[in-house]
């Protein structure tokens, strides 16, 4: 139906397609020299609407800024409401598990947070909720619309209840996140990624990429770059580096970014103390509309500084850090199986197998909203003020209105996303690089 709509409106469609290409490619300018990786990213985005949603944040934000048919918001009533520290891209798959100390590797010791902070920024708080609401609506699009809307409406409930609190109680996480917690605990304890990726203290290298994925031996330039990064204290003083590879085919938006995996230990014989750390290039993200610039030293520092303010436990990932080589910044994160992100495929599978239902999606929305509300109110504003009264003033006694606005906005954003997805798939069928090849 969407395709028929697009074909029927060819002039407007061509204009929209031009804007879509321009917006996505402009945001991907740091990756223009990596055409194969960029084409791989666009291919992944075309494979599923959720992956398109993940990879099209610049388009989504541009849409939030452009004048159009969207109803005025009843919120963001003061300049201070645009000074809140935001996750920037708080979609459900950015929820993940963290573990401060693997000696305490029980499910309860794991912490669930929004773990990808590449787009964190000080800006209008409503943007984080709108983006998350669209993600929930997209996950629930297989349900009847009223069930999907009911799930989305739990997001503002969670956010409002989270204001002024210190994190989410695990008992309120819902079954989807509890499953993630248990899975990460079990797979972390059994060292699943270590077993999959390494053998006898060495990475198992792929001879070539398969479907864009694989662990590949470093070339001399990459080895030198990684040497420089590791010399900046990203590992403990007593760490011994066992092996290093470049990792391909991970993520969506950041798929063309350089990723290194490092296998290290503290000197014990055998593989019992082996651990994994990932260093991933961080480029400057697209700016949120209304966001305050220049509150972090650089994109890599942004991730670390934002975690310190937004996570309940800033040490929830003991390896979280940043390092730089020339102008290129990298974020450093633990990569063991204790550290896992929510996977849309697993959630879809749960819905298909009737393991989860609409209520579970609602619980997920509530948990995501609660985490965001807690973090938004806990982190100081761009002015250094307490965010809680700013947020409470902005939503004062208008819980129902916030719910209605977010549900209505998610419905229209979802329709727009499907139209753009159809347009995108048609565009890359014609040119896998959206026309970038003609520029270069």
Partner 1 sequence: MTCALTLDPIVIEDTATPCALADLQVGATGWVRWPTSAINREIALTRARAELGIADSGVAARLVVMGVRSGAPDGYVGVDGESIVPQVQVAEARFEPGYGLRLAAGLLDDPWAIPGERAWTYVGLTTAFAESSGLWDRADLGLRASAATPGGHLSGAAAVTSGEGLRLRERNDGKNVTGVVTVRPFGDARLAVAVAGREGSRGIGSARDHRLAGRITSVGGPWTAGVELDRAWGLSGDPLLTPWGGSAWVGGNPWGPIVLLGRVDHLVLASADSAATDGWLAAGLQRSGARVTARGWVGVAARDAGPEAAPVAGATGLDDWQRLFVVLEVRAHVESED
Using only the alpha carbons of the chain, give its radius of gyration.
Answer: 21
Burial class (CB in 10 A: 0-12, 13-18, 19+), 207: exposed
Rule CB under 8 A: say whether 88 interacts with partner 1.
no
| Span from 38-46, 67-75, 111-119, 143-151 in contact with partner 1 (CB under 8 A) | 67-75
Calculate helix-pair angle for 125-139, 57-65, nearest 10 degrees: 130
Task: Give 245's contacts (C-beta < 8 A, 6+ positions apart).
Answer: 203, 205, 215, 216, 217, 218, 260, 261
Size of residue set near partner 1 by CB under 8 A: 56
Structural contact between residues 303 and 283, judged by C-beta atoms closer than 8 angstroms? no
Residue with the two structure tokens 């990596």? 34
Residue 137 CB, nearest distance to partner 1 (Å)?
19
Q: Spell out the long-range contacts of 383-392 with Cβ–Cβ below 8 A and sequence spacing 24 or more.
A: 383/80, 383/83, 385/80, 385/83, 387/83, 387/84, 387/85, 388/163, 388/164, 390/78, 390/80, 390/81, 390/83, 390/84, 391/81, 391/84, 391/125, 391/163, 392/163, 392/164
Contacting partner 1 within 217-276 (CB under 8 A): none
Give the residue, chosen from 9, 18, 166, 308, that forms a contact with partner 1 under the rule CB under 8 A: 18
Residue 78 CB, nearest distance to partner 1 (Å)?
5
Residue 127 CB, nearest distance to partner 1 (Å)?
7
Token digits of residue 28: 């991907």
- Residue 114 backbone dihedrals phi, psi, to 5 degrees: -80, 110
Rule CB under 8 A: say whether 16 interacts with partner 1.
yes
Give the residue, chosen from 31, 52, 53, 122, that forms a contact with partner 1 under the rule CB under 8 A: 122
Rule CB under 8 A: say whether 428 interacts with partner 1.
no
Contacting partner 1 within 344-403 (CB under 8 A): 381-383
Query: DSSP letters along 269-316, please?
Result: SSSTT-EEEEEEEEPPPPPPTTPBP--SSSHHHHHHHHHHHHSSSTTS
Specify the residue, 429 or 439, whose C-beta has the smaller distance to partner 1. 439
- C-alpha–C-alpha distance, residues 436 and 432, integer Å: 9
Specify the residue, 63 or 336, whose C-beta has the smaller distance to partner 1. 63
| Span from 19-27, 222-230, 244-252, 343-351 in contact with partner 1 (CB under 8 A) | 19-27
Q: Report the candidate in 224, 107, 218, 220 with the shortest Cα–Cα distance to residue 173.
A: 107
- Residue 17 backbone dihedrals phi, psi, to 5 degrees: -65, -40
Specify the residue, 77 or 190, whose C-beta has the smaller distance to partner 1. 77
Rule CB under 8 A: say whether 298 interacts with partner 1.
yes
Give the residue, chosen from 291, 390, 422, 428, that forms a contact with partner 1 under the rule CB under 8 A: 291
Token digits of residue 386: 């307490």
Q: Report the candidate in 135, 105, 41 with the shortest Cα–Cα distance to residue 340.
A: 105
| Span from 44-52, 281-289, 336-344, 415-423 in contact with partner 1 (CB under 8 A) | 281-289
Specify the residue, 7 or 210, whose C-beta has the smaller distance to partner 1. 7
C-alpha dihedral (313, 170, 372, 413), degrees to nearest 10: 140
Rule CB under 8 A: say whether 143 interacts with partner 1.
no
Give the residue, chosen from 6, 20, 163, 194, that forms a contact with partner 1 under the rule CB under 8 A: 20
Give the residue, chosen from 109, 214, 242, 296, that forms a contact with partner 1 under the rule CB under 8 A: 296
Contacting partner 1 within 161-190 (CB under 8 A): none
Give the residue, chosen from 70, 205, 324, 399, that forms a contact with partner 1 under the rule CB under 8 A: 70
Rule CB under 8 A: say whether 15 interacts with partner 1.
yes
Residue 97 CB, nearest distance to partner 1 (Å)?
31
Specify the residue, 21 or 247, whose C-beta has the smaller distance to partner 1. 21
Give contact residues for partner 1 (rule: CB under 8 A). 12, 15-23, 25-26, 62, 64-68, 70-73, 75-83, 122, 124, 126-127, 284, 287, 289-294, 296-299, 327, 381-383, 434-436, 438-439
């Amino acid at each position: 139906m969407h395709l028929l709509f697009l074909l029927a409106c060819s002039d407007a469609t061509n204009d929209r397609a031009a804007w879509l290409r321009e917006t996505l490619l402009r945001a991907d300018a740091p990756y223009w020299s990596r055409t194969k990786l960029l084409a791989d990213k666009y291919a992944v985005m075309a494979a599923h609407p959720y992956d398109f949603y993940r990879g099209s944040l610049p388009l989504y934000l541009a849409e939030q800024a452009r004048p159009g048919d969207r109803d005025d918001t009843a919120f963001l009533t003061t300049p201070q409401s645009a000074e809140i520290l935001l996750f920037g891209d708080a979609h459900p798959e950015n929820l993940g598990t963290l573990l401060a100390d693997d000696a305490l590797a029980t499910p309860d010791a794991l912490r669930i947070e929004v773990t990808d902070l590449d787009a964190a920024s000080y800006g209008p708080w409503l943007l984080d909720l709108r983006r998350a609401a669209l993600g929930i609506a997209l996950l629930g699009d297989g349900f009847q619309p009223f069930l999907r809307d009911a799930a989305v409406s739990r997001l503002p409930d969670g956010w409002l209840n989270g204001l002024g609190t210190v994190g989410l109680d695990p008992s309120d996480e819902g079954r989807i996140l509890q499953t993630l917690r248990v899975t990460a605990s079990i797979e972390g304890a059994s060292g699943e990624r270590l077993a999959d990726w390494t053998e006898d203290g060495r990475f198992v290298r792929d001879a070539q990429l398969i479907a864009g994925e694989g662990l590949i031996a470093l070339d001399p330039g990459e080895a030198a770059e990684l040497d420089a990064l590791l010399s900046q204290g990203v590992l403990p003083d007593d760490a011994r580096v066992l092996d290093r590879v470049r990792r391909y085919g991970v993520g969506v938006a950041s798929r063309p970014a350089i990723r290194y995996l490092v296998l290290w230990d503290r000197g014990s014989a055998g593989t019992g103390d082996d651990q994994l750390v990932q260093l991933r290039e961080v480029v400057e993200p697209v700016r949120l509309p209304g966001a305050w610039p220049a509150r972090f030293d650089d994109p890599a520092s942004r991730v670390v500084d934002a975690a310190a303010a937004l996570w309940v436990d800033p040490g929830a990932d003991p390896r979280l850090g940043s390092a730089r080589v020339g102008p290129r910044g990298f974020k450093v994160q633990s990569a063991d199986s204790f550290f896992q992100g929510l996977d849309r495929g697993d959630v879809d599978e749960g819905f298909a197998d009737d393991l989860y239902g609409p209520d579970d999606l609602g619980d997920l929305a509530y948990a995501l909203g609660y985490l965001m509300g807690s973090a938004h109110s806990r982190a100081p504003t761009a002015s250094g003020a307490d965010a809680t009264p700013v947020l409470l003033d902005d939503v004062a006694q208008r819980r129902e209105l916030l719910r209605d606005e977010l549900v209505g906005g998610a419905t229209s954003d979802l329709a727009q996303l499907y139209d753009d997805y159809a347009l995108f798939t048609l565009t890359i069928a014609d040119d896998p690089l959206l026309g970038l090849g003609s520029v270069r």
